[in-house]
Amino acid sequence: MMANNSGDDSSPLPFRGGAGGGGSPADAALADSPHPNPSPEGEGLDRFDPAAARFAVLQLVRLSGALLALAGVLVISGKIGWLPKLPEAVGYVLVGAGLIDFFVLPPLLAKRWKSQP
């Protein structure tokens, strides 16, 4: 290790922060006030976000539509042993409802929930 031969070994270089962590008096004043733009990982997570809730509802509507259509296809095929034999028309109704649920309802909900400028 090289020795510091500058003659003044009592204080470290200014960019190293000095003894006590390198904080300035201005930093101490900022630490008491909340950050103007908190990160998503920190403060503010206890607040309700309606956009996130609406997004979740849209995804659940799409998922339910896909599951309805799948159930309809299974009823039409007649290959499910645990479900009693249902008429083919029930399968077509389920597929139609699932497709409407998947393709039509999410845009209608999004349009209804769109915020006004």
27-67 per-position pLDDT tens digit? 555 555 565 565 556 555 567 888 899 999 999 999 999 99
In this prediction the pTM is 0.58
Q: By CB neighbour count within 10 A (0-12 exposed, 13-18 middle, 19+ buried), where does 69 fall?
A: buried
